[in-house]
Structure 1
Amino acid sequence: MVFLKQPTKEQELSSLLQTLHEHHPLHPRHYAPIFQLLTRFRGSLSQAKQLHAHLTLRGLRPDAFLAAKMVALYSSSRDRRTATLLSRQVPCPSTLLFNALIRGHSLFASPLETLDVFRQMQSHGLPPDHFSFPFALKCCAELQFLPLGQSLHSQCLRFGLEKDVYVGSSLVNMYAKCGYMKFGAVEMAKELFDDMPKRNIVTWTAMISGYSQNGMADSALSLFEDMKREGSQVQPNWVTIVSVLPACAHSAALEQGQRIHDYATAMGMDAHPTVRIALVTMYAKCGNLVAARRCFTSILGEDDNNSKNDLVPWNAMIAAYASHGLGAEAATLFEDMIKTGVRPDSVTFTSLLSGCSHSGLVEDGLKYFDSMRTVYSVEPQAEHYACVVDLLGRAGRLDEAVGIIERMNVVEVGPSVWGSLLSACRTFRNLEYGEMAANRLFVLEPENSGNYVLLCNIYADFGKWEEVKKLRSLLKERGIRKSPGCSWTEINGKIHAFFEGDKSHPQSRQIQILLEDLDKKMKAAGYVPDTRYVLHDISEEEKECSLKTHSEKLAIAFGLLNASPGTVRVLRVTKNLRICGDCHMFAKFISNIYSQEIIIRDVNRFHHFKTGTCSCGDHW
């Protein structure tokens, strides 16, 4: 991996100071690029104050442009007092200046204080722009101020900013958090909605968004269809489209997602950049990476906006590649983004590092992690350390992974970090580190049954059945229930769900007969059931019977039964948990025996099975 060598902070600063000394007479704007440079680096507050003193001693007063750069620096350095005093000394402040002040308050002050600065800007007669509104809308979301959020939405419409990608995303977020779904009171929200004599676009969209945000995909999609059938003046708008698409992504309902895309196109809403970004995410999470890339390319191809320079679509596509385990493609797109001049943020690196981890690109991942702070001035957070621990863990480099954790002095070692280590210990059968990680997780998130299951897996690998029994007893004592495995697939626009051992489906008998037939064909082809994934001290025959009832196998068998003869239709299955090794092997054999492409999305990533191989290269 090649990185472009960039000048160091000291080199850039020296060059700018030299330019400053060469100007006679000096003008306030000569200082602006220096303050802008210092803002990019943490720990530059003392240098900024020296430069500020230099400016003052020469009898110069900051104009609105320079003051904006100075306020940005003081705000990003947590010195809000100096930033506020400085802004008050400017006779004719600008929107740029207030935006810098608003950003600083949003980072280090309360939402109420941030909104107060937003009001001050408006009291000066300054129009908010595409930078101001997202911060104000975020505050409304945090404070659950729906009326104020609606007022801001009206202002966005008046200023013609609703199609801006950042404003649009902030509006969707605000409605999702400020709608009638707060605190998860779904039933109460439904009653309020049903009792309303008149519903407007905000009410419909908030309800749909609330269902989507609460994981109630079927309710969100059903309500969306009701809205279209309403026959009144209330019809879905682009915000509604963006609100309902996550429901398709959650349930992997590709056919329904495509129909919503068609509807958006027919209504002229597919050109909205926020809709296109939502489509990228929806198609990626539904397993259609080609369509996701097509939507992404259409965003960059727009001539009448600055979408190519917006970080959001780049982040969406990098995340899409990462979720499919295409780390090399994610890295290539990252490099393309940098060449375009778009600077990455913490979200970018989370996806990039995850992609490297799921593709076994260990050295590339470590280089990107090191470049976060040194090249791009992005401070690593807990999620980035979790990705690095996962990166090393998946490669079996557990000692190095533990070393990373031990060196996390600034960032708190949270559940995501210990969870990555525990998962790696399960894969590489490391009992010592596994117990250490699990014991920390039992304290940090005592209700998460998945951590107990992973430790049970490790104990079972070592034949420590007494320890397995103790953990099960502990789960029972604490009233913690193991999350049941559930897989689902979409056939003719309808979702069919299966739980482990499920016999409730109308085609259950046909499914069992087909699984028995598949078992014979696979064993003849060399398949050997991996009974390590049965956490019971029972006979091998009983373990094999238990493996046959796993939910993803039921969903695959159902899909094969209902596939149209002679078609090349892709069989798509989604699972709420991580796919086990035996089911992974099962899918590989089936893809070869039936010449059937199978895509399984588990809780971590996508697996594309074709002709007996998986896209993960058995590295997941």
Structure 2
Amino acid sequence: MRRKLSTSDSYLNLFAYLTTNPSLKLSRQLHAHITLRGLLHLLPPLAAAKMLAMYASSGDLLSAHSLFNHFHSSSSSSSSSPLLFNALIRGYSRLGHHEQTLRLYSRMMHLSRPDHFTFPFVLKACAGLSLARTGKCVHAQCVGNGFERDLYVGSSLVNAYVKCGELGLARQLFDEMPVRDVSSWNALVSGCMRSGMVGLGEELFWRMERRNVLSWTGMISGYAQNGLASKALSMFHRMASGGDRGSEVIRPNWVTVMSVLPACAHSAALEQGRRIHDYARSIGLGGNSSVQTALIAMYAKCGSLVEARRSFDELVDKGVVGWNTMITAYASHGKGAETISTFEDMIRAEVHPDFITFTGLLSGCSHSGLVEIGLAYFNDMERVYSVEPRVEHYACVVDLLSRAGRLREAKELIDRMPMPPSASVWGAVLAASCRMHKNLEIGEMAAKELFVLEPENIGNYVLLSNMYAEVGKWEEVDKLRAVVKSLGIKKQPGCSWTEINGRAHLFLGGDVSHQQAKEIYKLLEALPEQIKAAGYVPDTSFALHDVSEEEKEHNLSTHSEKLAIAFGLLNTPPGTVLRVTKNLRICGDCHSAIKFISRIYDREIIVRDVNRFHHFRDGSCSCGDYW
């Protein structure tokens, strides 16, 4: 008896310490010590469970499961205890092994009785696998075992239903809970935001009596995911300044910072992104690898490759995610040579590429016209790097060939694809046929496929309509317009925005609502003469309406990106870099005009359109007119 008590008292604290401070080496040494002294079979249920938890926390689930089987095959009283099941279920669940969690729970139902420690982890597994039906069965078992009113079980049920897309059931359960903790509120608020029910999410958030860092982070992330960048930034700044309730001050953590940076990227709010970067440094998060990786993406999407590269160089642990982010950044800016050199640096650093790596690499080759190099990398993907090509890689290579005018080869590749071609594949063919190589036959074929794959994407109808208009087939244009009208889909209006002194200014095509509209249009009226004197010739093919050339020129002069640039010229000192973001592809005439504007005003102008970045300087563009 003395030896049994000694075992329990002596080792429980050691198991607990190694669970909190995982060390697989020390865990194995302790295990060997206990085994050599013949004490393993004497461990009571609690100590045995703690030993399992020790191994699970170190990530060695194989040893944990082996011990589990040992205890259950022995004659120890621990064989019927739920403690062992709970310890192993918790380990599998925390490491994301959801299927094994559910299999172990099924076994537990036959050999032991689950308790209120069991169900939260089982429900987490249901949520991780989006198994709503299984979740409902576990819910019934919670009720059958009398745990439906347990606070933690109830919160786990709400969270599981939210993540399984059963928001109505989650809300019903939430309303019936006698006591709600902050985690149940957070689960419902996050579920509303993820489902696009922003208004309801806001209402619940402000009703919360107590909020924690997850509450604020969930709202910030939800706003960003729903395209409400300004609200995400406003919420972050409110949180960073101490929130608004009581004396408890809740500061952002690294997850919060990661959640708000995409909002800066979405709205191209470079100054806001820089301020958040400074704030992250001030609270000790400047060296966090996840934050640094998010900063690389933010700076790149805000048009500052220099700062993106600086953040990448400061990243100590350059894992595959960090390398992929930098490769994708160079690709989106059309920097093909830099995309390739970064990929080769990644290989030399012995970091194995994945499918995301090759999407960025092939995209960079495509945007820079590096056809043969791109084809070579595509052919080496599986053979050299053991990465099986996916549909997005085929889309990149089809785009690569199509941009180079090799439309027949692109069509042959599509015919050889081992999977059905996606809309992005046919979209690459249609765009190249329409914008660069004027191949109506292949363009019509691609459009026909796209009308089936994505019948409500008006962009495909617009591209084909433009092709018809360019060759004067106005009857075909009218037919397409009739189809669009019958489907009830509307063309997305072109808009551009620019950030001046930390504030975003939005412009629609032909917009006269801005408070400086008079000055903007006055500058634009003077521009044609200046840039025409420098050699600019309006390309009225981009104003594809059956109207006079004079009207076409006027329509071109009021495109949203020109309004944004004119506003920037009026409101920034000479030499300031102008950064403009457009929600659609920049048109060829604007592309030509901006080259001349950059020379006349001696400005660097960076335009981010829906496909890529264009860096204009001294009358030329970084894309080399290959876009």
TM-score where L is the length of structure 1: 0.73
Matched, 1:191 2:203: yes
For 1:256 and 1:329, locate their aligned partners in 2 and report how far apart those are by CA, in whole Å: 27
Matched, 1:260 2:271: no
For 1:374 and 1:532, locate their aligned partners in 2 and report how far apart those are by CA, in whole Å: 45
Shift of 1:197: 2.1
Matched, 1:401 2:426: no
What is the SS of the residue equivalent to 1:489? strand
Is the Cα contact below 8 Å between 1:484 and 1:500 reproduced in 2?
Answer: yes
Is the Cα contact below 8 Å between 2:190 and 2:201 reproduced in 1?
Answer: no
Shift of 1:112: 5.5
Which residue of the partner structure matches residue 348 of structure 1?
Answer: 357
Q: For 1:333, give the aligned amino acid.
A: T
What is the SS of the residue equivalent to 2:510? coil
For 1:182 and 1:405, locate their aligned partners in 2 and report how far apart those are by CA, in whole Å: 35
Shift of 1:468: 1.1
Q: 1:214-243: per-residue Cα shift (whole Å, max 9, x none)?
A: 111011011111112326321111111000
Is the Cα contact below 8 Å between 2:189 and 2:201 reproduced in 1?
Answer: no
Matched, 1:412 2:428: no
What is the SS of the residue equivalent to 1:573? strand
Residue 122 to residue 338, structure 1, CA distance change in 2 (3 Å): farther
Shift of 1:368: 0.8
For 1:191 and 1:398, locate their aligned partners in 2 and report how far apart those are by CA, in whole Å: 53
Shift of 1:182: 2.4
For 1:362 and 1:87, locate their aligned partners in 2 and report how far apart those are by CA, in whole Å: 53
Residue 90 to residue 319, structure 1, CA distance change in 2 (3 Å): farther
Matched, 1:337 2:346: yes
For 1:120 and 1:316, locate their aligned partners in 2 and report how far apart those are by CA, in whole Å: 41
Matched, 1:140 2:128: yes
Matched, 1:425 2:396: no
Which residue of the partner structure matches residue 243 of structure 1?
Answer: 259
Residue 404 to residue 518, structure 1, CA distance change in 2 (3 Å): same
Q: 1:63-107: per-residue Cα shift (whole Å, max 9, x none)?
A: xxxxxxxxxxxxxxxxxxxx9xx9999869xxxxx99x989x99x
For 2:625 and 2:187, locate their aligned partners in 1 and report how far apart those are by CA, in whole Å: 41
Shift of 1:619: 0.5
Which residue of the partner structure matches residue 390 of structure 2?
Answer: 381
Q: 1:311-363: per-residue Cα shift (whole Å, max 9, x none)?
A: 01000000010010011111111111111111111101001000000000001
For 1:390 and 1:273, locate their aligned partners in 2 and report how far apart those are by CA, in whole Å: 33
Residue 179 to residue 224, structure 1, CA distance change in 2 (3 Å): farther
What is the SS of the residue equivalent to 2:506? strand
Matched, 1:223 2:235: yes
Matched, 1:521 2:530: yes
Q: For 1:442, give the aligned amino acid.
A: F
Which residue of the partner structure matches residue 285 of structure 1?
Answer: 301
Q: Which runs of 5 or more structure 2 residues have no equivalent in the other structure?
A: 1-61, 72-87, 110-120, 136-153, 161-185
Which residue of the partner structure matches residue 224 of structure 2?
Answer: 212
Q: 1:247-302: per-residue Cα shift (whole Å, max 9, x none)?
A: 00000000000000011011111211100000000000000101101111111xx3
Is the Cα contact below 8 Å between 2:538 and 2:553 reproduced in 1?
Answer: yes
Task: Indicate which of 290, 301, 307 corresponds to 1:274.
Answer: 290
* Residues 188-197 or 345-354, more deviating: 188-197
For 2:126 and 2:595, locate their aligned partners in 1 and report how far apart those are by CA, in whole Å: 45
Matched, 1:113 2:125: no
Which contiguous aligned blocks of 4+ residues in structure 1 show a shift greater than 2 angstroms?
86-92, 111-123, 136-152, 174-180
How big is the alpha-carbon RMSD for the aligned residues of Structure 1 and Structure 2? 3.4
For 2:576 and 2:108, locate their aligned partners in 1 and report how far apart those are by CA, in whole Å: 56
For 2:528 and 2:537, locate their aligned partners in 1 and report how far apart those are by CA, in whole Å: 10
Which residue of the partner structure matches residue 561 of structure 1?
Answer: 570
Which residue of the partner structure matches residue 476 of structure 2?
Answer: 467
Q: 1:108-153: per-residue Cα shift (whole Å, max 9, x none)?
A: xxx9525536979999xxxxxxxxx9xx89963856999559999x
Q: 1:5-30: per-residue Cα shift (whole Å, max 9, x none)?
A: xxxxxxxxxxxxxxxxxxxxxxxxxx
Residue 507 to residue 477, structure 1, CA distance change in 2 (3 Å): same
User: Larger C-alpha radius of gyration, 1 or 2?
Assistant: 2
Residue 603 to residue 121, structure 1, CA distance change in 2 (3 Å): farther
Residue 518 to residue 599, structure 1, CA distance change in 2 (3 Å): same
Which residue of the partner structure matches residue 370 of structure 2?
Answer: 361
Matched, 1:491 2:500: yes
TM-score where L is the length of structure 2: 0.72
Q: 1:137-178: per-residue Cα shift (whole Å, max 9, x none)?
A: 9963856999559999xxxxxxxxxxxxxxxxxxxxx99995
Which residue of the partner structure matches residue 77 of structure 1?
Answer: none
What is the SS of the residue equivalent to 1:180? helix
Which residue of the partner structure matches residue 570 of structure 1?
Answer: 577
Is the Cα contact below 8 Å between 1:315 and 1:348 reproduced in 2?
Answer: yes
What is the SS of the residue equivalent to 1:504? coil
Q: 1:17-61: per-residue Cα shift (whole Å, max 9, x none)?
A: xxxxxxxxxxxxxxxxxxxxxxxxxxxxxxxxxxxxxxxxxxxxx
Q: What is the number of residues matched between the two proteins?
A: 487
Q: Which runs of 5 or more structure 1 residues have no equivalent in the other structure?
A: 1-82, 93-97, 124-132, 153-173
For 1:138 and 1:524, locate their aligned partners in 2 and report how far apart those are by CA, in whole Å: 68
For 1:525 and 1:368, locate their aligned partners in 2 and report how far apart those are by CA, in whole Å: 42
Is the Cα contact below 8 Å between 2:189 and 2:202 reproduced in 1?
Answer: no
For 2:157 and 2:619, locate their aligned partners in 1 and report how far apart those are by CA, in whole Å: 52
Shift of 1:400: 0.5
Residue 149 to residue 360, structure 1, CA distance change in 2 (3 Å): farther
Q: For 2:284, give the aligned amino acid.
A: G
What is the SS of the residue equivalent to 2:379? helix
Which residue of the partner structure matches residue 323 of structure 1?
Answer: 332
Which residue of the partner structure matches residue 611 of structure 2?
Answer: 604
For 1:335 and 1:176, locate their aligned partners in 2 and report how far apart those are by CA, in whole Å: 45
What is the SS of the residue equivalent to 1:511? helix
